């Protein structure tokens, strides 16, 4: 049993596995030449068409609760987004983009990989999540720059994300109302800096001109928009 002891000594520092380095597959995204953020693909088209069963989705979702919580309210400290009430189309696209490696999320990847959840369950989960009530207990920003945030939002973001932050499922525009502030802030920064590799290029162009303070103000404003079903 000697090797085990050596292993234990090493493992006491980091995760139990020597290979705790988390990796996920990588698919071409925004950095690629002919990138189109909403380019149709077979898996997505089929998933969108599939007749979804929220009851089955509830069971499939059990595996996600450890991070996104049973009520799908997420964990703001961890950057786990609220999923309750999000549009089914958005949920499906984000799950598939994460699985294929177009959206980087190594923490979540092993749980959305094909060996963890069958592709046919993805629309079921989306239907289940879409039907959950949106909690208004989400984390909000410091509230100091809301007028500026509102001005930016109405000018630059509302045309896609909706005047009330309701988004648009058919267009894959996420609902942003009452999402966690830390998540909105980080996503917006990642979108601006090209790190969210499945983002809409039109939005990226707009956000490129934003300072960190602008991003904080608009994220705070979005987090305070009341829940929309």
Partner 1 sequence: MRHRSLQAIAGLTLFAGGIAFSAAAETVKGDPAKAVPLVERLCMACHGQDGNSLIPSFPKLAGQHPEYLLHEMQEYKTKHRDNEMMSPVVLELSATDMANLAVYFAAQKPVPGTPSEPGLLALGKKIYLDGNSESGLPSCDGCHEENGKGSARFPRIAGQNPEYTMEQFHLYATGKRKFGKKVMVTVAERITEQEAKAVAEYIASMP
Q: 3-state class of 121 per DSSP?
A: helix
**Contact between 127 and ligand HEC per CB under 6 A:** no
The token pair that represents 89 in the structure block: 């189309």
12 binds, among ligand HEC, partner 1, none (CB under 5 to 8 A by kind): partner 1
Q: Which stretch binds ligand HEC (CB under 6 A): 17-25, 48-56, 142-150, 151-159?
A: 151-159
Nearest to 109 by CA among 122, 96, 99, 118: 99
**Contact between 72 and ligand HEC per CB under 6 A:** no
- The answer to whether 75 and 146 have CB atoms below 8 angstroms apart is no
Minimum distance from residue 101 beta carbon to partner 1 (Å) = 16
- The answer to whether 59 and 108 have CB atoms below 8 angstroms apart is no
Q: Return the residue of 44, 150, 169, 172 that touches ligand HEC, per CB under 6 A.
A: 172
Neighbours of 116 (CB within 10 A): 14
**Contact between 138 and ligand HEC per CB under 6 A:** no
Contacts with partner 1 by CB under 8 A lie at 4, 7-8, 11-20, 22, 55-56, 59-60, 62-67, 69-70, 75, 77-80, 106-108, 110-111, 113-118, 121, 124
Q: Return the residue of 156, 164, 189, 228 that touches ligand HEC, per CB under 6 A.
A: 156
143: left (phi over 0), alpha (psi -120 to 50) or beta: left
In the chain the first and final C-alpha atoms are separated, in Å, by: 57
Q: 3-state class of 80 per DSSP?
A: strand
14 binds, among partner 1, ligand HEC, none (CB under 5 to 8 A by kind): partner 1
E strand or H helix at 150, and its extent?
helix 146-152
Chain positions 30 to 59 lying near ligand HEC, rule: CB under 6 A, are 37
* Dihedral sign (CA 185, 190, 193, 194): negative
Q: Which stretch binds ligand HEC (CB under 6 A): 4-12, 20-28, 138-146, 201-209?
A: 201-209
The token pair that represents 175 in the structure block: 């609902």
207 binds, among ligand HEC, partner 1, none (CB under 5 to 8 A by kind): ligand HEC
Give, as one character, the DSSP assignment of residue 77. G
204 binds, among ligand HEC, partner 1, none (CB under 5 to 8 A by kind): none
* Residue 222 Cα distances to 81, 107, 138, 201, angstroms: 14, 25, 11, 20
Chain residues in the site for ligand HEC (CB under 6 A): 37, 63-64, 66-68, 79-81, 83, 86, 91, 93-95, 105, 107-108, 111-112, 117, 125, 156-157, 159-161, 172-174, 176, 184, 187-188, 191, 198-200, 202-203, 206-207, 218
């Amino acid at each position: 049993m000697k090797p085990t002891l050596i292993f234990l000594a090493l493992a006491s520092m980091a995760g139990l596995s020597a290979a705790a380095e988390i990796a996920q597959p990588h698919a071409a995204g925004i950095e690629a030449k002919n990138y189109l953020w909403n380019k149709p693909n077979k898996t997505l088209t089929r998933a969108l068409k599939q007749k979804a069963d929220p009851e089955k989705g509830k069971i499939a979702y059990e595996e996600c609760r450890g991070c996104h919580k049973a009520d799908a309210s997420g964990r703001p400290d961890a950057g786990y987004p609220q999923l309750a009430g999000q549009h089914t189309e958005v949920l499906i696209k984000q799950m598939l983009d994460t699985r294929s490696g177009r959206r980087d999320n190594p923490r979540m990847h092993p749980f959305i990989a094909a060996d963890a959840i069958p592709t046919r369950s993805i629309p079921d989960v989306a239907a289940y999540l879409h039907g959950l009530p949106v909690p208004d207990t989400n984390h909000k920003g410091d509230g100091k720059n809301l007028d500026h945030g509102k001005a930016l939002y109405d000018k630059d973001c509302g045309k896609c994300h909706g005047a009330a932050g309701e988004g648009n499922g058919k267009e894959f525009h996420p609902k942003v109302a009452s999402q966690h502030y830390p998540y909105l802030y980080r996503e917006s920064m990642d979108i601006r800096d090209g790190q969210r590799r499945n983002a809409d290029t039109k939005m990226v162009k707009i956000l490129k001109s934003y300072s960190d303070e602008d991003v904080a103000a608009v994220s705070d404003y979005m987090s305070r928009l009341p829940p929309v079903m």
